[in-house]
Amino acid sequence: MDNDIDMESAVTQLNRSTVPDAWAESVRLVAVKRDRAAFQVLYKHFSPLIRAFLLKSMGSGANRSEAEEITQEVLIKVWNKAATFNPAKASVNTWIFTIARNTRIDFIRRNDRNNREIDIEDIWHDAESPEPLVDMQQRRAEQVIKQAMATLPEEQVQVLYKAFMEGKSHNEVAEELSLPLGTVKSRIRLALNKMQILIDR
């Protein structure tokens, strides 16, 4: 157990060395106190962003009222799952994005009238990292990503945007931009490399 305590203090120190996450305290208050005011702060900031993301990513079949319904679903999950948020592992931004992404995948499946019941969170789940120090490296990587993103050339931003915000696969992006698949892949990889996300393949 001594080991755990050492780890904890190391994490606390590392936490101080990174930029504080302004939204983490609000999520904590929602988790521990079921604090309406704190939740309203999150609601005000994030619901217009979640709505914007869903309108872009739910495909041409999605109308405004569907996007609204899914936005509400995402916010209900934020309230219900607040206690599972781990500030050492991810920022509130990333945590809320993953909830929105999973809710969107679920919506698309339901819309396909798929009769096989699957809990999307079984597949796209928060992988628990057993090592807190790895988590901290993660949090610092996030700062690098934030800074580097502002410097990316337009053609790289475009493919990243289509992949992440419009929810298009590499193949779909290639088709839409009339580019070879290899070009889309290499543009994304160049952008990721600049953000210090170094995937070997």
- 156, 186 in Cβ contact below 8 A? no
Q: Binding to another protein by residue 14, rule CB under 8 A? A: no
Q: Binding to another protein by residue 91, rule CB under 8 A? A: yes
Q: Binding to another protein by residue 98, rule CB under 8 A? A: yes
For the chain, report the end-to-end CA distance as a whole number of angstroms.
39
Joined tokens for residue 70? 């899914």
Q: Binding to another protein by residue 125, rule CB under 8 A? A: yes
18 DSSP assignment: S
Q: Binding to another protein by residue 156, rule CB under 8 A? A: no
Among 141, 153, 176, 180, binds another protein (CB under 8 A): 141
- 48, 70 in Cβ contact below 8 A? no
Q: Binding to another protein by residue 22, rule CB under 8 A? A: no
What is the DSSP code string of 28-77? HHHHHH--HHHHHHHHHHHHHHHHHHHHHHS-TT--HHHHHHHHHHHHHH
Q: Binding to another protein by residue 129, rule CB under 8 A? A: yes
Among 12, 32, 111, 153, binds another protein (CB under 8 A): 32
State which of positions 179-198 bind another protein (CB under 8 A). 185, 188-189, 192, 195, 197
Q: Which residue has the tokens 């070009």?
A: 183
Among 17, 61, 116, 178, binds another protein (CB under 8 A): 116
Joined tokens for residue 78? 């934020």
Q: Binding to another protein by residue 110, rule CB under 8 A? A: no
State which of positions 55-74 bind another protein (CB under 8 A). 55-57, 68, 72
